[in-house]
Structures are given as structure tokens and as C-alpha cells.
Structure 1
Amino acid sequence: MENLEKYLEDLESRIDDEIENDLMQQWKDFTDGKFQGNVFSPNRKKASKPKVEWPKIMVNDTLNDIDNMVLQQYELCSKALEAGNGEILSVRCNFGTGIIPSLFGAELFIMPYETDTLPASRSLPGGKEDIKKLIDKGVPDLYQNLGGKVFEVAERFLSIAKQYPKIGRHVHIYAPDTQGPMAICQSLWGSGIFFDFYDDKKLVHEMLNLATETFIAFTKEWFKLVPSVMEGYCINWCMLHKGHVMLRDDDAMNLSPDMFEEFIRPYDQRILDEFGGGGIHFCGKGDHYIHIIPQMRGVYVINLSQPECNNMDIIYKHTVEKGIKIIGLKKEEVERALKKGFDFHGNVHVGASIAAWDKKPQAN
């Protein structure tokens, strides 16, 4: 991408130390339980319009072009400044869910260009026999396939942070999408794993153990290169939370609570213990196993994509009412609960700022 510098210079010129420090303090107060309101809905004190027109970069154009990748990520920061919203400025090595599966040799599935969507990965063609081979080999090379690309892009982010002081201070480089042990296993194994939960439990546990070891090894390697700048805190999707990892448990919607206890909880717990806790994300339905989450050590937040698929009264009972925060909750669900008079106890962050609906900050 030609003239990358002009966009970085634009971003650098629009970042205001006082405004970003104030926003971060708002997030820390919420995270630390000091927020006094019912629903956390942060905003910047002032918005800032871009001085140049930022290009739209399609996802598929970023996968093999570092300049396109970093420009696409920094454009998100530009949009946050322009909107004056409460998103923390942050970027990531944005290669989708297939990063760790690719370390094991999984083939990527590149989405059609026009969908502008991150790639996924295909399950291994040999099914269970390929899984046995992976277990025999152990933790794979962390720098092969998408692993190497992740660290290469991270190096570029770090280089830019050194060159542009305000970007370096306020644009946070957060961890790539490493999923979670069960998501990694299901991606590699394919739908056959749902039979082998019953037919070959031993092998499933062996692969979950390998996925966990690989997740831990990759994350440790990540933190060697990109150490956390805020001890005890972590950023994901422009939101702050306690701990240093965000586990993705999308496959849990397919499992019973007993199966969650056996096949997900112990491996998630190992990772949470290793990295000082963190959060759990899930898509789809989670109200059937949510009662297990507060029993786990170091779960400080959850993030759910589809509250409409859940009995949210059950979700709230086992999260916000027990001190576990929900971040990025859809505004429609927040509005529904508020109309019912629900007390969030200051433990819910709404994904789109409620305050912004009534009053938007003045752009400079």
C-alpha cells in the first residue's frame, strides 16, 4: 500500500493523550468495580475527524499483504476517533480462527472476496487417523503457516509504535484469535468428534491436552514479543477486562452441561490458571451451562454474541449477579432488560454507547 505513512501521520495527529487517558481510566474503573452506574457506556470527551480519506481494505487483501493488514486495523482506530465512542484504540494480527489449526497443517478456507469475511479452516482429511498422528508429534512449530504471519505482522505493529509515539502509547496490540482447546480440536477433527465424545473419549482428551499445550506455548511466545503493558488487564475487541486471555467456547452450545464439565472446563481452567485469568466468549446458546462458569477460577468477564439465543435472566443470575462482568452486550438486549427494570449492578458494558444515542461528542 503506497503512502501508508500519510494515514499513520493522520492517526498520530488526532490522538489526544488527555482524552485517551481519560477513556482508559473509565474502563479501569469499570473493570475494577469502581463504576457507580447501572450500565457502563463510555465515550471520548471529543471526537476527531480524519484529515485524509482512509481507504476501505477488504479482508482477503490483508491476508498476504502486511501493509494492507496494518492499514485495515489502524482504520478501525481512525473510525473510533471519528465517532468519539468508547472503544479503546487497538489492533490485532487479524487472520481469523484458523491460526492454531494451521500450525497442525489444517488447510485454510478462504471466503469469497465480496463477503469481506475472515477465513476459516478445514478439518483434516484423514479424520481420527490424522488426529492420532498429531498427538504422536506433539506441539507443532509455532512459526509455520499462519503462526509465522501473526508474528510478522506483530513485528510491524511494534515498529510503527516506536516510530509514532502517540500510536505507541495509546494503540494497543492485542492477542490474535487463538480460540480455545475445544474449538481447536473440533476444527481439526471435524464433525466426527461428536461421535467420539462417546466412542473414543481417551483420544479426545489426548487431543484436547495437545491443543491446550499448543495454546499455552503459542500465547507465551506471543507475550515474549508483545508483552502486556498493563499488568493484570487485557484488551479484546477494543474492550478492557481483567486477566490476560479470552477463550472462545463456541462449540459449547452443542454440548450438555456434563460434557462441558468433562471436555471443556478442565482445559480452559489450565489456560486461565497459566495466564492469570481472563474471559470466555461464546456464540449461540450458553444458558444451559452458564452455571458452571462462576465455579471456575479466574473468569472475570463473558462476551456473548447472540443474547437472543439465550434466556438472559439465567445468564445474568450466574454472571452479573455473581460479580462476573458482561462486555460488549448488544444494545437491544440492554434496552429490553432496562425496560423490565433489571439491575445490572454496574457489571454490564453495552456494545454501542447508550449515551451516544442522545448526545454525540463534538468533532474537531
Structure 2
Amino acid sequence: MMLKNYLLIDDKNLARFDELYRDYKRMYEDPDNCSPKFIIRTPVKLSSTVRERVEDPIAMLKAELDILRSHIEIGDDRVPSVRVQFGTAQVAAAFGCRMHVFENSLPAAGNHVVKSIEDIYKLRKPALDSGWYGKLKEFTEIFKENLPPGVHIQHPDIQSPFNNAYMIRGNDIFLDFYDDADAVGYLLDVVTDYMIELVPYLKNMISDDREWFFDWGAMWKGAARISNCSLHMISPEFYTKHILPRDKKLLKAIGGGRIHYCGTSDKVMDQMFKIDDLAGFDYDANHHNLWDICDKIPKNITLLQWGDPPEAQQSTVERLLKGDWPKKRNIIIEAQAGSIEEGRELLKRLRASVPD
């Protein structure tokens, strides 16, 4: 099954997307004179399971295009992009972790390959095509052969130095901080150095653009997203001492990027906001307030707020609909609607609520 004609984007939408790309660039380059963006998610019934998609690149691409189609019909600010969805453990798999494939959830690490502190020091950087990265390249090539005109490929999920170190070592890493902090540092350095080499390798697979990348339906300054989901299991002090230097090193080396943080600590976020090469940041509305964050985040960092479950966004959306907007303009808001029609109406109301 060939998919080049499966989702046809007409000239009107192609022109709209060209302007949308310029708008996303303004969010970083001219944050005082940009406009907030809205990504409206609606239920999409897919014809394949995650397991089937992980085994079949055409099935995966079809599902990605089905999700994209709903956004085009709504007319929101999601950029036309798709991702090879292999889950969070791709770097860990390169280091030797087994990838566990679920029926209807994305693959995850099935084991931890470093069993002792002594084994940490035996760890070396793997080849760039280790683990599932050979398969990722195969899927990416098939995606590129079948992409409808105007559709781009999002950057693969690479997680972060600490998320990957945690998957490689497992829960013992939390004791390692006390038993042998130098070993944790060695593990983090090996992972960070591998990621620094990995990002341009992956970037070359998907794009010729070295300044911008597609991720989570938006366009971002830099090269990649790092995901710091596991930080809620360590203290802000441990983050500042052990993890922050590696996050800084990684983002600087790859030419900047953004951070995903689904934790609860304002102190951790405050440290992240000091990273010079941070251009974008997203967080969970369950744990943080949009207006509070807008008051302290640097002006040039584009902010994305989402909620899990999506209902967590409701109070924010209701407040925005009343015209109560923060002064910050480079904001992306995810919202949920029950149907395409409801999504169009919500998008119309949100756009009308933005102050001039």
C-alpha cells in the first residue's frame, strides 16, 4: 500500500503551513510580536494496534497521517509532521536493554543491562546503529518514500541523559548516588556523549534543516527534545549537582533544543530556565500554573502547556476564553475537543480570546 496520495494537502493549506512555519520562528526570534498557538486534539480511531505498527512501517505511517488529518480538518496550529513511534527506550536499547513491545502502548525498556556499580565502569558508547536504530533507519526511509507532499518527519524520541541512565541501570541508580556518585557521573557522561553523537546522526535521517525541528506537532528552535520525566524521583539538589551539567552540555553540543518536564518541582524548572541553549519547554497543567510560569520563564523560551488527562487543561482553557491571558506571547496551548466540529468551534473561540 502506497500512501503518497492517502492524505492530500491542498494549495490553500500548504500556503497556510508556510505562514505557520514563519509564525513558529517568530515565537523564538520576535517573542513580543508573535501570536499564541493552539493544538486541538480529538479522538481518532486507528485501524491498527501499536504492535502492528511497530512491525509495519506503512501501518505506522497510515496511523500518523490519520491523526494529522483531524488537525488539518480543524485548521489548528499543528504542523504537518509524523514520527516513527518506537517509544522511550531507543537509547537504552542501543546500550543493550531489551525492548518490550506492548499490544497498545509504545515500546519500553524490558530490562536494565547494568547490574552493579562495577559494571557501570565497563560501559562504553555503542555504535550509532545499535539496538533499534537500524530498524529506525529502515522505517524512516519507507516513511520518506511514502510521505505526502508537505508532510515532514519529527525527530525521534531520545529522552535525556538521566532518563536513559535510569533505564540502563534501573532503580539501583538512586542508591548509587549515595554509594558511588562518581559511578553515576560516569554513566551520565557515557550516555550524554553518545547522545551528542546520536542527534546529528538522527537529524541527517530526517531533515536538512540544522536550526529547527518538528516535535509534538509544533516547530522548535534547535535540534531535539530531551525528556526529563524521571526527575521527580530525585531532589532538586541532586538535579542541580548531577544532571543539570549534562543537560547543559547536551543542549549546547547539539545546537540547542527544548525540554519536556512532567514533574512537580518548581525548583527544578527554575534551574532548567537558566540553561543558555534552551529554546522551548513543555510541562503538565496538573502540576503548574501557566501564569506563574510565564512570569518567570525567559522571554525567548517558547512554552507549551498540556494536560494528562486532557481534562487537567480545562481550567486553563476556561480562563483563557475569558480573555485572561498572560503577557507572554510565545505560548502553545493543547486543548481537547470531542469532535472535529467541536474542535473548530473551540479553536475559533480561543483565537478570538487573545488580546491584540
For normalisation by structure 1, the TM-score amounts to 0.82
**Shift in alpha-carbon separation, 1:337–1:36, aligned structure 2, 3 A:** farther
Which of 249, 253, 277 is equivalent to 1:274?
A: 253
Taking the aligned partners of 1:356 and 1:323, their CA distance within structure 2 comes to: 30
Whether 2:324 is the aligned partner of 1:324: answer no
Taking the aligned partners of 1:358 and 1:66, their CA distance within structure 2 comes to: 32
Letter in 1 for 2:75: G
Taking the aligned partners of 2:291 and 2:26, their CA distance within structure 1 comes to: 25
- Helix, strand or coil at the partner of 2:55: coil
Identity of aligned residues (%): 21
CA deviations 1:118-141 (Å, max 9, x no partner) are 021033265225842xx4351112
Question: Once the 2 structures are TM-superposed, how far is the Cα of residue 75 of structure 1 from its aligned partner?
Answer: 2.1
**Unaligned stretches of 5+ residues in structure 2:** 308-312, 337-342, 350-356
Which residue number corresponds to residue 310 of structure 2? none
Letter in 2 for 1:141: A
**Shift in alpha-carbon separation, 1:344–1:120, aligned structure 2, 3 A:** farther
Letter in 2 for 1:317: D
Which residue number corresponds to residue 348 of structure 2? 359
Cα pair 1:131 1:207 within 8 Å, conserved = no
Taking the aligned partners of 2:31 and 2:245, their CA distance within structure 1 comes to: 31
Letter in 2 for 1:18: A
Question: Once the 2 structures are TM-superposed, how far is the Cα of residue 324 of structure 1 from its aligned partner?
Answer: 2.3
**Shift in alpha-carbon separation, 1:120–1:333, aligned structure 2, 3 A:** farther
- Helix, strand or coil at the partner of 1:334: helix
Question: Once the 2 structures are TM-superposed, how far is the Cα of residue 14 of structure 1 from its aligned partner?
Answer: 4.2
Cα pair 2:92 2:109 within 8 Å, conserved = yes
**Unaligned stretches of 5+ residues in structure 1:** 44-52
Which residue number corresponds to residue 346 of structure 1? 329
Which residue number corresponds to residue 191 of structure 2? 211
Cα pair 1:334 1:350 within 8 Å, conserved = no
Taking the aligned partners of 1:341 and 1:37, their CA distance within structure 2 comes to: 17
Which residue number corresponds to residue 212 of structure 2? 233
Which residue number corresponds to residue 71 of structure 1? 62
Which of 169, 174, 177 is equivalent to 1:197?
A: 177
Question: Once the 2 structures are TM-superposed, how far is the Cα of residue 25 of structure 1 from its aligned partner?
Answer: 2.7
Which of 151, 154, 174 is equivalent to 2:137?
A: 151
**Shift in alpha-carbon separation, 1:355–1:64, aligned structure 2, 3 A:** closer
The correspondence of residues 98-177 of structure 1 with structure 2, limited to 5 A, is 98-111=89-102, 113=103, 116-124=104-112, 127-128=115-116, 131-132=119-120, 135-161=121-147, 164=148, 167=149, 170-177=150-157
For normalisation by structure 2, the TM-score amounts to 0.83
Cα pair 2:199 2:223 within 8 Å, conserved = no
CA deviations 1:213-260 (Å, max 9, x no partner) are 11112212112323343x422211111121112110111122222211
Which residue number corresponds to residue 316 of structure 2? 334
Cα pair 1:108 1:119 within 8 Å, conserved = yes
Question: Once the 2 structures are TM-superposed, how far is the Cα of residue 157 of structure 1 from its aligned partner?
Answer: 2.0
The Cα RMSD (Å) is 2.8
**Shift in alpha-carbon separation, 1:333–1:180, aligned structure 2, 3 A:** farther
**Shift in alpha-carbon separation, 1:88–1:127, aligned structure 2, 3 A:** same
Instruction: Give the number of equivalent residue pairs.
Output: 333
Whether 2:229 is the aligned partner of 1:250: answer yes
Taking the aligned partners of 2:278 and 2:201, their CA distance within structure 1 comes to: 23
